[in-house]
Amino acid sequence: MKFTELGLNPDTLKSLEKLGFETATPIQEKAIPILLEGKRDFVGLASTGTGKTAAFGLPLLERIDPEMDLPQGVILCPTRELCLQIADDIKKFSLHRNALKVVAVYGGAAITNQIRDLKRGAQIIVATPGRLMDLIERRAVKVNQISMVVLDEADEMLNMGFKEELDKILGNMPEERVTWLFSATMARGVAQIAKNYQTDPVEVSVGGKNESAANIDHLCFMVHEKDRYPAVKRILDFLPEIYGLIFCRTRAETQSVAEKLIQDGYTADALHGELSQSQRDAVMRKFRQKNITILVATDVAARGIDVDDITHVIHYKLSDEIAAYTHRSGRTARAGKSGVSIALINMHERRRITELERRNNIKIRLEKVPDAKAICENQLIALLNRVIECDVNEEEIEDYLPAAYEALCHLDKKEIIKRFVATEFNHFLEYYRNANDINVKPRPQRERQPGQQRSDNSKRNRRMEAYDTKRFSINVGRVHKVNAGAIVRLVCENCNLKSNQIGAIDLGRDSSFFEVSKEASAAIRDGMSNLKLDGREVSIRSAAGQGGGQRSGGRQGGGRPSSGGHGRPSGGRSGYQGNRKKRD
């Protein structure tokens, strides 16, 4: 369906025409007519990259009163990159409605500048929950006149621990507002927000709940843990024209993989939470201009990436969160194009693939990592294609040709081709000359017979594993005006963990202790270095011998921690304030 058929006003259509927008995507086609009415709450489920920003942004613009110089619409999103991207898109959509004022507010930038921008006037505020909550507490922004609120990437906001901020922000807004919720997956927490803050919402689902885009080809390669990086190199060499994203679980792993790729001659760079905003902007600028073709990123840092031409997504390591696979894969196959999602797994992660297939209604094909011969053939073909397609400016090179003819006159055509190929290709031949097969042959999965029970020891071990934790100490406490929520946010943002992987927190006067699940402890060691919290250097150390094993006061079976008021942070001024109710 054309945008001209959706009921948008002529000024908006002029902006879309200038941007080259003609045909609406399925989520835009279904959502825009409903949202233009502005009378009902709305839930939109669609994969990443299907045009959700325009689906809610265009109706939001239509319903803003340009004569009313107060905040009327708020868009909440999980990361500053996505915040900036949405604000930029909204401004482009309103190109022919110059009176509209859009302000982006997010963490990692000077709050005084954002307060100044808000005082100049803002009819639409695009915000991350923590920063908006901070501004509300400072009375720098009023949301009591808000008539429309959009929750974009709602599932990811919950994964990042923003539930308390969302509760407080929505609780400060008028009850008669309309709430539009957009998400790639209908996680349990998202459904709960819809239940708590929406009234009889219209629900539109494109492709099915929790499904990946249909035009993505899903593959996986099984290798030994030590061969993850060699496998990545082989994949990149097999795909000479790749323009892709590599996802890692921690920022330390992200930086390490990027540095190895750069050292090995690939045009790559890293994107993670330790970079300053100016550094992140520089990396993204190089990536969009294709000065770098491989971007290695954490899940959180990549949330704002909006690039249409990404051909491949590589999962260096799968995330613990099932929904993260959908978000990662959705970075490719955007704007109606096709793409490939490649997961690297070890033998123990095969069940994860089965679970991803079931939960996302997809098929992930187990393929073999390309061998040396296939890689070299692909590289040769790519080289020859570049030679064939090369533009030749005869006038500029004419003066140099006689010397070239003379130097090569003693060689026949076949010999020239051989030497040309060898000159460009010898390093590949040398690198892969003795390359071994790094594929792991999958073991057949044994099917349990109906009625067959696991042994008591097996069941007991599984229960114990569920509560096995590692304990760490951190050199901040109550005297530094830091609460448990600040520690949760610090760990989640810098180690790419989820809040449900963090257990009991013991908040002390000038130092504190916290527990994480056993499998997450490596991420703590990798990610917690050179950190600061409210300007104070933070030191994290293992507290072995001072806890661990089965928890006595932590969260068991989804319960509340017994000490420290552990809860998701609320983004307050003194280090992400927030509380969670204690267990009785």
pLDDT digits (tens, 9 = 90+) for 186-214: 767 778 888 888 999 999 988 655 555 66
Phi, psi at 179, each rounded to 5°? -120, 120
pLDDT band at 335 (very low <50, low <70, confident <90, very high): low
Q: Is residue 456's pLDDT more than 50?
A: no
Q: Is residue 25's pLDDT more than 80?
A: yes
Q: Is residue 240's pLDDT more than 80?
A: yes
Q: What is the mean pLDDT of residues 415-423?
A: 88
Q: Is residue 536's pLDDT more than 70?
A: yes
Phi, psi at 4, each rounded to 5°? -65, -15
Residue (of 366, 336, 363) closest to 215 by Cα position:
336
What CA–CA distance (Å, rounded) separates 288 from 310? 10
Residue-wise pLDDT for 512-525, tens only, equals 888 887 777 877 87
Phi, psi at 29, each rounded to 5°? -60, -40
Q: Is residue 437's pLDDT more than 70?
A: yes
Residue (of 545, 551, 538) closest to 511 by Cα position:
538
Residue-wise pLDDT for 259-310, tens only, equals 999 999 999 999 987 888 788 889 999 999 999 999 999 987 787 677 878 9
Can you give the pLDDT at residue 542? 83
Residue (of 179, 191, 73) closest to 132 by Cα position:
73
The b/e string for 376-407 (b: 16+ C-beta within 10 A; e otherwise) is bebbbeebeeeeeeeeeeeeeeeeeeeeeeee
Can you give the pLDDT at residue 535? 66
Residue (of 495, 572, 575, 535) closest to 130 by Cα position:
572
Residue-wise pLDDT for 50-88, tens only, equals 788 999 999 999 999 988 889 999 999 988 888 988 999
329 neighbors 213 (Cβ within 8 angstroms): yes
Can you give the pLDDT at residue 246? 97
Report the mean per-residue pLDDT for the chain.
82
Phi, psi at 551, each rounded to 5°? -75, 145
What CA–CA distance (Å, rounded) separates 575 from 90? 31
pLDDT band at 571 (very low <50, low <70, confident <90, very high): very low
Tell me the percentage of the chain whose pLDDT exceeds 70: 85
Can you give the pLDDT at residue 578? 36
Residue-wise pLDDT for 464-520, tens only, equals 344 467 888 888 888 887 778 778 878 877 777 777 778 788 888 888 888 887 777
Angle at 579 between CA 575 and CA 580, to 5 degrees: 140
Can you give the pLDDT at residue 460? 33
Residue-wise pLDDT for 111-142, tens only, equals 999 999 999 989 999 999 999 999 999 999 98
Domains of the chain: 3-205 (3.40.50.300), 216-372 (3.40.50.300), 458-584 (3.30.70.330)
